[in-house]
Copies of this chain bind each other. A is one copy, B any other.
């Protein structure tokens, strides 16, 4: 054991740095850093393996702050450890364009393994990382710190249940069991027996009874968790929120600065100079210099990158080239079926892929293999997520941080269950591929609870996310090519029903988001009478309409986001100003006014019925649309 006084001096330095950051920002969360500084110190100093000079070292232990609002503590810790945070960075806490934003933002080079803030996500992300480590054969541990909120969120239950099922013994959850939430004591809402619950989920349960002071116990339990049995471990750490401040143990210190006076009282209590801010004593600095050397020594003796990681980019490039051979043949497919063909190819070609579904593999057509990951075999490429859409997508985000491509699937309408991780994937630009099938009311009899109408608009509203709705085999292949090449998340939207192959569909042209898939014989005219812009299952419908009335150009627009990125010249070429345009998509019209003059879609919830009846009900037959266009009197017939 080391000098106990020095250790508490370090812990109190972490506390005071964190509080100084919140005070200077006049914004932030002092309660958690004051309570968790001891366990944070012990974890990083005595347990975890890492090297601040090579933060991307694949074999490093991972740390996730699921209660991301406590990030002043994390930044302080990373600063002391020698990560790339200067004292000025700490002083810029919560300031615009700083390295130290109000919640941790994904940047592995800075020691931030994943973005957190929305509660519970970090636990699921950690499950994903633990799976990825086992998949790649990396011998490390994933430590996730979390609070009461994280454990109350359903996503943490879903992912903890799966973690227990998979016996993820490389996962350690450090639960800041402080008995306080924003609205008061946890006992106003949260009186379950959490320990018993985690035992029921197949976890080891450990406890640190005095998380404020008993450093030896912390070290012992953390070591035990790291070397543990065949199960994931949760450590209940009894801490005092706002330790040392006059507000200690009260929710009042959760999310607001203490103020000058209370900060000074705190520093007095901690035995620090109350007049000094952002101060680190020399012996503390010296301790971390030594610690850094120790960590580097371990790194130097254990520094082997997982070799198969290095060539991932090459594998992906090859896969993109290979699937270019998959295109329209004689047979028509539902796009979920063409997706299946392409995805099987990709899965065979890539070592770094984990495909899965929230118990809809047979419907999503994502069952790329009948061998799947089990607690005894992580070499497989398929993972059964169970009926856990939210955890699935959050776990996928965690997996993606290992340069493994997670492909996850469910029905399109059920993005309502997992929009939080879809948003996080977009925010952090994780290369997560969301396969979303049953993409319109045309899924039929399951009815409005299962029929998306607003879902495409929702996805298109999320920055950084590519939403691609291909119309046939060729475009499905192109969609996967785009997804594999994109440095961010993609939502691939597929039909349940069979769609006809289209003569001029083009996997290259679609890379620009939209292209002319049918041009009428204009003869003397310079421009067509009308342009129909359609996606997915409505492209063939647009072509039917074009056959019946006037000289109509049909534009296939599988990806609005990519089209938005094109030059004005290209946009004008495809959708010229001087021709009237109409959108055609079996869903909400709201997002189409940006591109067209008239919209044709479905702005109410769906109906349970046969696909033919649904088409008639929503006026999605070629006759209906021809009649509508005639009504507009844009085409002289």
Contacts and interface: CB of A to CB of B under 8 A. Distances in A.
Contact of A103 (B119, B188, B605, B608): B608
User: What is the oligomeric copy number?
Assistant: 2
A593 to B, nearest CB: 4
A52 interface: no
Interface in A361-385: 361-363, 367, 372, 384-385
A306 interface: no
A96 B385 CA distance: 33
A447 B28 CA distance: 11
Given A27-B444, A359-B181, A445-B28, A200 B190 contact: no
Interface stretch (A271-279, A287-295, A386-394): A386-394
Nearest to A184: B384
A202 B187 CA distance: 13
A454 B462 contact: yes
A414 interface: yes
A360 B149 CA distance: 11
A463 B117 CA distance: 30
A202 B194 CA distance: 11
Task: Name, among A193, A367, A422, A614, the residue most crowded by chain B CB atoms within 10 Å (CB to CB).
Answer: A193
A256 to B, nearest CB: 10
A448 B115 CA distance: 10
A618 to B, nearest CB: 10
Interface in A603-624: 603-605, 607-610, 613-614, 617
A261 interface: no
Interface stretch (A157-165, A328-336, A477-485, A547-555): A157-165
Interface string A115-138: 111110000000000000000000
A565 B96 CA distance: 41
A189 interface: yes
A93 B259 CA distance: 65
Contacts of A96: 607-610, 613-614, 617
Contacts of A445: 25, 27-28, 94, 102
A158 B152 CA distance: 7
Interface in A580-604: 588, 590-591, 593-594, 603-604
A191 interface: yes
A327 B197 CA distance: 49
A114 B614 CA distance: 23
A420 interface: yes
A228 to B, nearest CB: 18
A183 B416 contact: no
A197 B191 contact: no
A161 B192 contact: yes
Given A423-B416, A447-B103, A200 B189 contact: no
Interface in A85-130: 94-98, 101-103, 105, 115-119
A331 B101 CA distance: 33
Interface in A133-154: 148-149, 152-154
A265 to B, nearest CB: 23
B189 A197 contact: no
Nearest to A101: B608
B388 A94 contact: no
A199 interface: yes
Nearest to A256: B362
Contacts of A391: 154
Contacts of A200: 192-197, 199-200
Interface string A410-426: 00011111011011101
Contacts of A202: 191-193
Given A192-B165, A387-B148, A608-B101, A117 B461 contact: no
A152 B192 contact: no
A221 to B, nearest CB: 21
A609 B95 contact: yes
A351 interface: no
A445 to B, nearest CB: 4
B390 A154 contact: yes
A74 to B, nearest CB: 14
A296 interface: no
Contacts of A448: 101, 105, 427
A463 B457 contact: no
Contact of A189 (B155, B165, B419, B458): B165
A199 B118 CA distance: 28
A68 interface: yes
A457 B454 contact: no
Contact of A154 (B149, B153, B188, B199): B153
A268 interface: no
A13 interface: no
Nearest to A68: B449
A461 B458 contact: yes
A460 interface: yes
Contacts of A608: 94-96, 98, 101-103, 105
Contact of A427 (B101, B605, B614): B605
By Cβ-Cβ distance, the 3 closest A-B pairs, closest first, are A154-B154, A96-B609, A117-B449
Given A199-B200, A461-B591, 10 more contacts: A27-B444, A98-B608, A101-B448, A118-B450, A189-B384, A191-B202, A192-B201, A416-B420, A426-B605, A453-B463
30 contacts: A28-B445, A94-B447, A94-B609, A103-B449, A105-B448, A105-B608, A116-B449, A117-B446, A117-B449, A118-B416, A118-B449, A149-B359, A161-B192, A165-B192, A181-B359, A181-B387, A182-B363, A183-B360, A183-B362, A188-B372, A191-B202, A192-B200, A192-B201, A196-B200, A414-B420, A417-B419, A424-B449, A457-B457, A457-B458, A464-B605
